[in-house]
Amino acid sequence: MIDSVVHYLHEAGIPFRLTSYPTPEPQPAVAYRPIPTAQLVETHVVLVDGQPALACTLCGDAVSLPGLATETGGVVVDSDAEGLSGDYHGTTGPIPPLGGLVGVPLFVDVRVAELPNVAFRACGPNDYLEISYDDLALVEHPRIAAFGEAGELPPHQP
């Protein structure tokens, strides 16, 4: 699957950096240092009015389904990769925020759209692509909306 991502970005003329960390042993998992020049983002699969779409948030953030529904004016529900086409149909690994690659629209959280560079897992847990957000927006034409949730607020401390 990494080949399809690389080919897609090459065809679009978009510069990127691919970093792949081998895992010498299956257990325990090895922690790798994050990419210092980019913020890690992740992609979620959602259904918007019954059609699959990708929603890109900061890594660790969840998608606010009501927030995305408000932004789109449609019914939004959580989904999985079964609705995607090509190599990503039914995949259980990370999905890159490249809606054009899988033939679906891409929604980007406003906090991601403010970043100069983003990094995302391309296909496996140790394969990362780094790309400028402007280049990502140039090839993907994402719809920017406020739908990322960073989790619950901490309890009130008197």
Q: pLDDT tens digit string along 114-137?
A: 999 999 987 777 788 999 999 999
Bridge partners (DSSP) listed for residue 118 = 39, 131
Instruction: Report how many helices (DSSP H) and strands (DSSP E) the chain contains, helices first.
Output: 5, 10
Cβ(96)–Cβ(5) below 8 Å? yes
Range picked from 1-5, 16-20, 67-71, 78-82 for highest mean pLDDT:
67-71
> How are beta strands 117-121 and 127-132 bridged, if at all?
antiparallel
pLDDT at residue 147 greater than cutoff 80: yes
Q: Write down the pLDDT at residue 21.
A: 74
DSSP E strand stretches across the chain? 17-20, 39-48, 51-58, 62-63, 76-78, 106-109, 117-121, 127-132, 143-145, 148-149
pLDDT at residue 107 greater than cutoff 80: yes
Q: Is the dihedral of CA 50, 110, 18, 6 positive or negative?
A: positive
DSSP secondary structure code for residue 151 in this structure: -
Q: Write down the pLDDT at residue 32.
A: 63
- Superfamily of domain 2-17+35-147 in CATH is YbaK/aminoacyl-tRNA synthetase-associated domain (3.90.960.10)
pLDDT at residue 8 greater than cutoff 80: yes
Q: How confident is the model at residue 151 (pLDDT cuts 50, 70, 90)?
A: low
pLDDT digits (tens, 9 = 90+) for 15-67: 999 888 776 666 666 666 666 788 999 999 999 999 999 999 999 899 999 99
Q: Work out the number of other CB atoms within 10 angstroms of the CB of residue 85.
A: 11
Q: Write down the pLDDT at residue 31.
A: 64
The residue-averaged pLDDT of 103-113 equals 95
pLDDT digits (tens, 9 = 90+) for 79-98: 888 878 777 777 777 889 99
Full-model pTM: 0.85
